[in-house]
Structure 1
Amino acid sequence: MPSMITAVRHGQSESNAAFDRAEATGAAIVLPGSDRDVSLSPLGRKQATELGRRLATGETPEAVWCSPYRRAVQTWELVAAELDVVPEFRLEARLGDREMGALSGMNLAAIRERFPEQAEGLISRRYSHRAPEGESIPDVADRVREVLADLHAECADRRVLVIAHDAVVLMVKHVLEGIPLASLDAFIPVHNASISIWRGARPEVFNDAGHLGNVTF
């Protein structure tokens, strides 16, 4: 078992920023392209740098397992630039963001316009709903559970940094602590560039973004 697991969400992405702007006006938007190729926003790059500075001042990671999504990899590159010693790095497909299938790239307003029954499902069955060709939250939990089992087998007594997405960080908490899915609302939202730490299965901190200082969400 790793001596310490630190899970972080990537910095703000261009899609996060676009959704925030749309929410402020009530606009429905559908973002083009693949979710896997979305980059960090300028704010997200600043957040990732501050995250790296925070990690450099503590118990630095000895191994890094990272989602292959561009925003996660970019977060790691900016974190690594702040570390004195760069640990071994591994891309791990099972740490990718929740697949939204036919709903990918849409904010809730757009989903309501195009797929009203799917919007209702996302709201009323948030922990069990599965979009067409997409994943449910339990699906994400299943692959996170596999990753944690592999970490326990391959990274015994090491400090591991996991760079991923809000759904993945939340499922790490669910799996390690045995928290029921229905009780996870209290831990949402998982902030961009936030830090969550477990020693073994014991939680030390969750969703801490104090290191961002004046870098706003």
Structure 2
Amino acid sequence: MAVRELWLVRHGESNGNVAATRAEIEGLEVIPLDARDADVPLSDTGREQAAALGEWLAGRRGTIDTYWASPYLRARETLALALAASGETTVLVDERLRDRELGILDLLTRTGVARRHPDEMARRKHLGKFYHRPPGGESWADVALRLRSFLREVLEGPGESTMMVAHDAVVMLLLYVLLPLGEEELLAFAGEHTVLNASVTHLVRADAGWELVEFSDVAHLQREGADVTAHPGSPDVEPA
């Protein structure tokens, strides 16, 4: 039985999101964060957002067949907290849903990238956002490649409805693969839209292919009184 409905969720606000935003505002070169990216937990606000997501899920109990999460702690925590009251215990984790890896630019702010790696800024300008691969890291095209591999397995089922909890770049690139979009279409969409923390993006599969029903919906956060937060993407790209 093929999957015909997808719910794509960005993790709730993380301590890394908060630290990165503060570092950008203060003009720091390096984000003051001790944990590796995979181990960064949710902030207090992120936990509230995950609980609000859980209220949203409670109204859809029994309608989502499978739950997938990025192996990164902030994604797993978001899904675990959201499912805490539902009795659902089966969560599948796949490393292909992990966040984009930044290599030598990891933990650098935009100021830090400009001062420490001006050559990479120039190379990124030449190659463009989609194909620029920081040394030791991934381009958006690299992430899309691993997501194609993931989808080939997941979209064959089991079940007809699946939720994936991952990261802003992953949500954007799933849209790129599924709708599908070209490079220019993706960059134009990403330039005008933000994947908010704990937001829900909804797609359905029709005869002509996948259709986007709702993008980055946060009505569930507003109903439950949780803060709506948007944090910029990685420092070698414009916010997306």
**Structure 1 length as normaliser, TM-score?**
0.91
- Counterpart of 2:121 in structure 1: which amino acid? A
Tell me the equivalent position of 2:228. Answer: 216
SS for the counterpart of 2:91 is: strand
- 8 Å CA contact 2:218, 2:228 repeated in 1: no
Tell me the equivalent position of 2:211. Answer: 202
Are residue 99 (structure 1) and residue 101 (structure 2) matched? Answer: yes
* Structure 2 residue corresponding to 1:148, chosen from 135, 148, 151: 151
Tell me the equivalent position of 1:24. Answer: 25
Deviations 1:106-154 (A, max 9, x none): 2211111211122344466211110101100011001111111111223
Deviation at 1:181, TM superposition (A): 2.4
* Structure 2 residue corresponding to 1:182, chosen from 161, 181, 184: 184
- Counterpart of 2:217 in structure 1: which amino acid? D
SS for the counterpart of 2:145 is: helix
**Structure 2 length as normaliser, TM-score?**
0.83
- 8 Å CA contact 2:221, 2:228 repeated in 1: yes
Deviations 1:43-87 (A, max 9, x none): 11111111121122136421111100011111111111142x416
SS for the counterpart of 1:94 is: helix
Unmatched tracts of structure 2, length 5 or more? 230-240
Are residue 35 (structure 1) and residue 37 (structure 2) matched? Answer: yes
SS for the counterpart of 2:175 is: helix
Deviations 1:166-193 (A, max 9, x none): 1111111111101112222324321110
Tell me the equivalent position of 2:169. Answer: 167
Tell me the equivalent position of 2:67. Answer: 64
In percent, how many aligned pairs have the same letter? 34
- 8 Å CA contact 1:128, 1:138 repeated in 2: yes
- 8 Å CA contact 1:64, 1:87 repeated in 2: no
Distance in 2 (CA, whole Å) between partners of 1:145 and 1:75 is 24
Unmatched tracts of structure 1, length 5 or more? none
Deviation at 1:162, TM superposition (A): 0.4
Distance in 2 (CA, whole Å) between partners of 1:211 and 1:154 is 27
- Counterpart of 2:119 in structure 1: which amino acid? E
Tell me the equivalent position of 1:193. Answer: 198
Tell me the equivalent position of 2:76. Answer: 73
Deviations 1:11-36 (A, max 9, x none): 01111111111222333223333111
Query: Taking structure 1 as reference, are residues 33 and 4 closer, same or farther at Cα in structure 2, changes over 3 Å only?
Result: same
Task: Tell me the C-alpha RMSD between the 2 structures.
Answer: 1.8
- 8 Å CA contact 1:61, 1:87 repeated in 2: no
